[in-house]
Amino acid sequence: MKFYEAIAKYYDAIFPLKKAQLTAMIKITGTPPARILDLACGTGSYSLALAEKGYDVTASDLDSNMIDQLRVKQNDSKYPMDVKQFNMKEVAEKVSDKYKTVICIGNSLVHLNSFDDTLVCLKGIKEVLEPDGKCLIQIVNYDRIIYHLVSSLPTITNDEENLSFKRLYTFSEEDYRITFKGVLEVNDYHSSEETILLPIKSEKLVELLHAAGFEKVSLYGGFDFSPFLALESMALVVVAE
């Protein structure tokens, strides 16, 4: 994807590992060496952090640039981890193990092309989970985005890298898609690329998770498991089991 090719080199500076996310992953998984699958892992910062804590981790992403960076970081790490490159809707075909937890964060799920593809992905996640396993999903709260006609997310800045990343949203009601424009500036480097997102509201995501076979679906407004407020929360965090 050209969008992520443009930012791959600076991905870790834009989206650094955050303690709240890692703590949430550990909380719902339990103690190592439980198996964790990190779908759409980016450059694998969370996968590596979990592997260092003793979890049996499989990390996957569709983008070859992200996978290349992950492999470089993996080579510098003494902790083993399985790395795969595939589209997250193919999860049931590409992995044969069963996992205690499947993680899909970073607003990744909405990069699928349709609700049908999303359902295929969620069914695949359900299939590769252990009987008592859980799925952790995080996306932008599109209830809020669409209701308030939000046109941008907060700009991400990294003063150490002299970096700014603007995130601009244009919602089309006609085809129910969001054009996501990312504007990256790092010193003399400038990139402006677009990609298309499928905005999934909370009610629709719950519907799809139930259709995929999940019985219990809990919604939160962040990785601190605060209450989800449809028209106010910035994020939608879901634990499905």
175-200 tens-digit pLDDT: 999 999 999 999 999 999 999 999 99
CB atoms within 10 A of CB 108: 20
Residue with tokens 């879901």: 238
Residues 6+ apart with CB under 8 A from 17: 45, 46, 49
**Whole-number pLDDT of residue 94:** 96
Q: What is the mean pLDDT of residues 45-68?
A: 96
pLDDT digits (tens, 9 = 90+) for 6-28: 788 899 999 999 999 999 999 99
User: What is the residue type of 9?
Assistant: K
Contact 115, 205 (CB under 8 A): no
Query: Where do runs of H (alpha helix) occur along 53-196?
Result: 64-75, 91-94, 115-128, 142-147
CA angle 42, 12, 185 (to 5 degrees): 115
Q: How many whole angstroms from its chain centre is CA 104?
A: 4
pLDDT digits (tens, 9 = 90+) for 201-237: 999 999 999 999 999 999 999 999 999 999 999 999 9
User: What is the residue type of 22?
Assistant: L
**Whole-number pLDDT of residue 8:** 86
Looking at CATH, the fold of the domain delimited by 2-141+201-240 is given as Rossmann fold (3.40.50)
Omega before residue 33 within 30° of 0, cis: yes
**Whole-number pLDDT of residue 161:** 94
Sorted by where each begins, the domain ranges of the chain are 2-141+201-240, 144-197
CA angle 42, 46, 52 (to 5 degrees): 135
**Whole-number pLDDT of residue 76:** 82
Q: How much is the mean pLDDT over the chain?
A: 96
pLDDT digits (tens, 9 = 90+) for 74-118: 888 888 899 999 999 999 999 999 999 999 999 999 999 999 999
Please give the Cα distance from 29 to 89 (Å, whole number): 22
**Whole-number pLDDT of residue 143:** 98
Tokens linked to 180: 């996501």
Please give the Cα distance from 236 to 107 (Å, whole number): 9
Contact 235, 140 (CB under 8 A): yes
